[in-house]
Chain A
Amino acid sequence: MADLSKQLQADVILAGKDKRPLNIIGGNSKAWYGREVVGEPLSLAEHEGILAYQPKELTLKVRAGTKLSVIADALDEHRQRLPFDPPYFGESATIGGTMACNFSGPRRPYAGSARDFMLGCNIINGKGEALHFGGEVMKNVAGFDVSRLMVGSLGTLGVLLDVSLKVLPHREAEQTVALPASFAESIAIMSKWAATPLPVTAMCSDGDFVYFRICGTNSAVQRSMKEIGGTMHGGGFQLWKDLREHELPYFDDPRPLYRLSLPSAAPFASLEGVLVSDWFIGWGGAQRWLKSDLPLTVVQAYAKSLGGTASIFRHGNRGDEMFAPLPAPVMALHQRLKASFDPHRILNVGRMYKDL
């Protein structure tokens, strides 16, 4: 447990003076995500430790370099958890990297995303100023919501020093059921159950089966299983973990992995040159994976026609753009915001978009 904030601040100030770009690194477990960054490493790994955890307040304040596994253990002791079920993608994963990427797991459509549980943070902006936004309470509308703006900004606006998060209790019972269904059928089935109050906390489809995870009190789980039907899937716990960590056989492939964020009920229509087995559908239809050598422009056009976006999640050429392009006026806002936080252009320059 070390407080390196003063050192980190000094490093950023110095880098700003010399206009030396920095590459912010937590556990280095997601180094493959986004575009390549050229810059001197700024390591947050040792800036770690739980600063405050109040189970009765449902709040947790941790330094950015704290490992997800350390957080999970601390919460588990009080039968609580990070509600957004973050993927680790490696044992060294930290909360700082997780929030900077806005990564959420299979529970996301039903519980919320990483950004939804962000309450406050301390950051160092590109001018080397240590700033505090948000707070450690659930409701706070004082000032612009910079804390949530930081989530998913890939370190391009500031160095996260610590974050305050809302946590939730564990559910006591959990079961997974599977029903045979094609992708198209799966979307219809998932949409149907999403519109009911049953306590479903994850839904996905591999094109052969649609899987449901049900969490709640024992009686609620038993009843929901009966209503949804299908067969009980004994390996449920492993399935959701492997999906979250991309350790299912589906993900073992050298081709670029596209992540499509779509309206959950968007029809399943394949793309030319793509096999049905190249797809995997998660988040009840709202997040679809595609393994393909097609260019980003083609996949993005497809996603756009369905009301969403496509980005290359892994295995792309990291010198090119990895994320769906932004409309010009929105990109202009991004650039002005970037300039307001990082006028010397030293923080993770180009990690999100070439011109950011």
Chain B
Amino acid sequence: MDSKQQQIIIDLQAILPAASLLTSKEALTPYECDGLSIHKGLPLAVALPETLAQAQAIVRSCTKAKVPIISRGAGTGLAGGAMPTQGAVVLSLAKFNEILEIDEHNLTATVQPGVRNLVISQAVAHLNLYYAPDPSSQIACTIGGNVAENSGGVHCLKYGLTVHNVLGLKILGIDGEIFELGGKALDNVGYDLLALMHGSEGLLGIVVEVTVKLLPKPELAQVVLAAFDDVEKAGQSVGDIIAAGIVPAGLEMMDALAIQAAEAYAHVGYPINAQAIVLCEVDGTTNSVADYIARVEKVLHEAGATEVRTSQDEVQRLQFWAGRKAAFPAVGRLAPDYYCMDGTIPKAKLPEVLKQISVWSEAFGLPVANVFHAGDGNMHPLILYDANKAGELKKTEAFGQKILELCVQVGGTITGEHGVGVEKLDAMCVQFGAAELSQFLAIKDAFDADGLLNPGKAVPSLHRCAELGRMHVHNGQLPHPELERF
């Protein structure tokens, strides 16, 4: 520890009670990674403030000493966005876990950033309201983290992402000052900084308060489960449902390996001989659900489904979903480790992309289970591997990178909802050219001139992309002409 680092610890000790500052290796270790455990690092310290004044003082001390700050919610992120770097202070917002106001007239809830996603819906359930975005980590993940990642969920085709469901933010800036963006009104004046903060992965500011939009609970939700003997037909049916003028609340797809794993784990009666299943949920008033469900069933039959089941009550609806929701842990039983990818593609490209993934799967000798937010084209191929086998993780990461590059090639993106973090920095070089990356860095600079907020995440440096050699080629021109190449 150098003298600058010693000084910052002394400063933090003056701000926080002893129990709110972690500095020993044993205490720091639980914070060494987020949900992406293949990337790890130990921070200098973890600060757990309880008041805004403490958080402000911490930021001011770090800014003065030019010590990086990594804000952290529940640490459920899947891209290493909250992974500590050496010499950085982790600012945990876990203790900011109060619901500050529920406004049933304006249909808003104002909460602290450490409030867990699901807790908001639970707190307003008695009013027949809920908070719509439901990332699969919603039991554990916090709303502050949801803002930082612009989290999605199973229902975002109809109800949008976090950015569509947040009306206001309070941000602690790198200068230690707090500013407000939005509030309870719908539209705001000035630039849409509210949107810009969403998905900015802690690089622009620290979220210290969130006002979310609450929605009335639908009267009824029903889900149709359709089995297919062919993945392509299943993929086709997804487009057919949309073309029939239906906007499902959720529209999911799983392939054979994922179905078998889910059924073996959750015992929910999935058709284990199917090559793919499609789950289509419709919600709304009782009348409209009845109308739409009849239409969905018809479309799925016409698309060649070998079996179509519709949930008859809430127990059965939850059962149909239970398999899908358990897909990740279920797949986790098939191999010692799995690596979850998060690319988004135009839905029409699904058969092409799945075919290519299975070809690579053979070539790499790594099985892949596919679960897919089919409605919005967000795919989660789960690559099965064994980290204890020498070289297998490297092979897995190379396979993953190829999948992401393929997503970009077919007109999609390297991350639909998990974010870039440290995981997809190289893939960012494929998705964006030097000019776009420079603009991102300039935006970062406008908020954080010294580069102290979560540095080294989300946006790669131009040098990194140039050195990587696997570069974005735009209109046949090689990017970064200003950089020397060796």
- Residue B431 CB within 8 A of the other chain: yes
B186 touches A56 (CB 8 A): no
C-alpha gap A129/B217 in the complex (Å): 46
Stretch at the interface among B28-36, B352-360, B435-443, B461-469: B435-443
B63–chain A nearest beta-carbon distance, Å: 15
What sequence of 0s and 1s flags, for each residue 185-218 of chain B, a beta carbon within 8 Å of any chain A beta carbon? 1111111110110111001100000000000111
Residues of A within 8 A of B285 (CB): 197-199, 216, 220, 223-224
Taken residue by residue from 23 to 47, chain B's Cβ proximity to chain A (1 for < 8 Å, 0 otherwise) reads as 0000000000000000000000000
Are B192 and A333 in contact, with the CB atoms below 8 A? Answer: no
Task: Give the contacting residue for B378; candidates A112, A138, A333; CB below 8 A.
Answer: A138
The verdict on A283 contacting chain B, using a C-beta distance below 8 Å, is: yes
Cα-based distance from A125 to B438 in the complex (angstroms): 12
Report if B313 contacts A (CB, 8 A).
no
Count of residues in A whose CB is under 8 Å from the partner chain: 88
Which residues of A are found within 8 Å of B149, using beta-carbon distances?
A: 141
Assess whether A115 is interfacial by the CB under 8 Å rule. yes
Contact yes or no, A131 B192, CB < 8 A: no
Q: Which residues of A contact B446 (CB under 8 A)?
A: 333, 336-337, 339-340
Contacts of A132 in B (CB 8 A): 432-433, 436
Contact digits for A103-128, partner B, Cβ 8 Å, 1 yes 0 no: 01000110011011000000001000
A266 to B184: give the CA distance in the assembly, Å.
Answer: 10
Write the nearest CB–CB distance from B478 to chain A, whole angstroms: 16
Contact indicator B288/A219 (Cβ below 8 Å)? yes
The answer to whether A341 and B439 touch across the interface, beta carbons within 8 angstroms, is yes
Chain B residues, Cβ within 8 Å of A292: none
A146 and B439 within 8 A (CB): yes
Q: Tell me the minimal C-beta distance from A248 to chain B in angstroms.
A: 20
A197-B431 CB under 8 A given contacts A140-B344, A142-B414, A149-B195: no
Query: Given known contacts A219-B288, A352-B190, is B348 in contact with A145 (CB within 8 Å)?
Result: no
CB-nearest residue of chain A to B190 = A326
Interface pair B420/A153, CB less than 8 Å apart: no
B192-A194 in contact (CB<8A)? no
How distant is the Cα of A336 from the Cα of B157 in the complex, in angstroms?
A: 35
B73 contacts the other chain (CB 8 A) = no
A153 CA to B442 CA in the complex, in Å? Answer: 17
Total inter-chain residue pairs, C-beta < 8 Å? 268
Chain A neighbourhood of B433, CB < 8 A: 132
Shortest CB distance B361–A (Å)? 23
Knowing A135-B411, A308-B183, A340-B442 are in contact, say whether A141-B416 is a contact too (CB < 8 A): yes
Complex contacts, A264 vs chain B, CB 8 Å: 106-107, 186
Asked if A263 meets B245 with Cβ closer than 8 Å, knowing A220-B288, A326-B189, the reply is no
What is the distance, in angstroms, from B291's C-beta to the closest C-beta of chain A? 4
Tell yes or no: B259 within 8 A of A by CB.
Answer: no
A348 within 8 A of B: no
Can you name the residue of chain B whose Cβ is closest to the Cβ of A116?
B164
Is B247 at the interface (CB under 8 A from chain A)?
A: yes
Q: For A57, what are the chain B residues with a Cβ–Cβ distance below 8 Å?
A: 239, 242, 346-348, 377
- Interface flag for B163 (CB, 8 Å): yes
B105 at the interface (CB under 8 A from A): yes
A145-B198 contact, Cβ under 8 Å, with A56-B242, A139-B161, A329-B177: yes
Asked whether A151 and B412 contact (CB < 8 A) given A109-B186, A137-B345, the answer is no
Cα–Cα distance between A157 and B183 once the two chains are bound (Å) = 24
A311 on interface, CB distance cutoff 8 Å: yes
Residues of B within 8 A of A130 (CB): 435
Contact B193 A330 (CB under 8 A): yes
CA A54 – CA B48 in complex, angstroms?
A: 48
A-B contact pairs, 21 of them (CB 8 A): A116-B163, A116-B164, A135-B413, A138-B156, A139-B152, A140-B413, A141-B199, A143-B432, A144-B443, A152-B191, A196-B216, A197-B218, A217-B291, A263-B183, A265-B105, A286-B185, A308-B184, A333-B179, A337-B443, A340-B443, A341-B439
Q: Which residues of B does A touch, CB under 8 Å?
A: 103-108, 127-129, 149-150, 152, 156-157, 160-161, 163-164, 173, 177, 179-181, 183-193, 195-196, 198-200, 203-204, 216-219, 239-240, 242-243, 245-247, 284-285, 287-288, 290-292, 344-348, 373, 375-378, 411-420, 424, 427-428, 431-433, 435-436, 439-440, 442-447, 458-459
* Given contact pairs A135-B412, A149-B192, a sample of 16 additional A-B residue pairs in the complex whose CB atoms are under 8 Å apart: A56-B242, A102-B187, A115-B192, A137-B378, A139-B413, A141-B415, A141-B418, A144-B443, A145-B196, A146-B440, A151-B195, A194-B216, A217-B287, A219-B291, A336-B445, A340-B439
A-B interface, 8 closest residue pairs, ranked by CB to CB distance from nearest: A56-B239, A148-B195, A138-B376, A340-B442, A336-B446, A263-B184, A139-B416, A265-B105
